[in-house]
Amino acid sequence: MRTTQYVLFIIVAIAFSSCAIVRQGEVGMKRRLGVLNQKIIQPGSVGFNPFTSTVIKMPIRTMNMEISSNLPSKEGLNVAAVISILYRIEPTKAPYIVENIGVGNEQNVISSVFRSTAADVCSRFFAKDMHSAQRANIEKEIATQMSELLVPRGFVIEAVLLKNIQLPAGLARAVEEKLEAEQDAQRMEFLLEREKREAQRKKIEAEGIRDAQKIISEGLSKNIIEWQSIEAFRELAKSPNTKTIITDGKSPMLINPKE
């Protein structure tokens, strides 16, 4: 009885050891007696002979590799930065990577290519460019140049991101002063523009008053003035208050009797 159980245990152990699971985001390859099978194994379960074969699994999802490096600039300064490299393995190139680079050695290859490429690209830009809008162009050029070297080897470079950039102390202060000067210039430009608009508003207002007075003066004829004088006499006559009016018949003058 014990012998039968022991045999069953061995059979079950062999059965489990002869089955591998390739998960999502991975591809598998069989290696039999040291020879790699070029057929790609898709996610799922796969059977193999544990005595002669092994199943090699490689991730094909997007990976993030961070590198701390001093990037050289055009003026000969070193800019400290942390760089994130987003990459993935081309599934069809997995056997090539296993045979020529080795499992787990891909980051050594990518980091070496990055350091060489970054030195070449960054040396064409000023240090301040790595801290300005030019940074996107630097990242793009590094990624493009890396792709030219790594795509044939089975690596797809999705993005190169420059982070935590630390400019030399003197340059950092110079950049800050320049930004402050630009902000002051923009503020002064805004104030000047506001004063200009206010002067323009006052000018338009004065021109409106002038035109209104001109229209009024042109419309006051002799007959209209005489008519207004008659209306003034009429309104004074209606008033119950005692008053003295001195007039030449054309324009009234009211004298307050209390004075």
255 falls in which pLDDT band (50, 70, 90)?
very low
Closest CA to 160 of 129, 199, 117: 117
Q: For residues 153-162, give the mean pLDDT.
A: 92
The per-residue DSSP string of 233-256 comes to: HHHHHH--S--EEEE-SSSEEEE-
Stated as kind and residue range, the H or E segment containing 139 is helix 135-150
Please give the C-alpha separations between residue 74 and each of 55, 114, 129, 136, 162, in angstroms, as whole numbers.
49, 18, 10, 17, 17
Q: What is the C-alpha separation between 46 and 64, in angstroms, rounded? A: 28
Q: What is the C-alpha separation between 242 and 129, in angstroms, rounded? A: 89
Tokens of 132: 């300005």
Q: Is the pLDDT of residue 82 over 80?
A: yes
Tokens of 9: 């245990």
pLDDT in tens, 204-245: 888 777 777 676 666 656 666 666 666 766 666 666 666 666
Q: What is the C-alpha separation between 15 and 27, in angstroms, rounded? A: 22
The pLDDT, as a whole number, for residue 254 is 46
Identify the residue with better confidence: 234 or 22: 22
Stated as kind and residue range, the H or E segment containing 66 is strand 63-72
Range from 31-40, 90-99, 228-237 that averages highest in pLDDT: 90-99
Task: Enumerate the CATH 3.30.479.30 domain ranges in the chain, comma separated.
Answer: 63-172
Q: What is the C-alpha separation between 71 and 54, in angstroms, rounded? A: 42
Strand partners, 248: none
Closest CA to 157 of 167, 143, 145, 142: 143
Identify the CATH assignment for 63-172 out of 3.40.50.300, 1.10.760.10, 3.30.479.30, 3.40.470.10.
Answer: 3.30.479.30
Q: What is the C-alpha separation between 167 and 177, in angstroms, rounded? A: 14
Strand partners, 86: 64, 159
Q: Is the pLDDT of residue 147 over 90?
A: yes
The interaxial angle of helices 106-122 and 135-150, nearest 10 deg, is 130
Q: What is the C-alpha separation between 229 and 225, in angstroms, rounded? A: 6
Three-state DSSP state, 154: coil
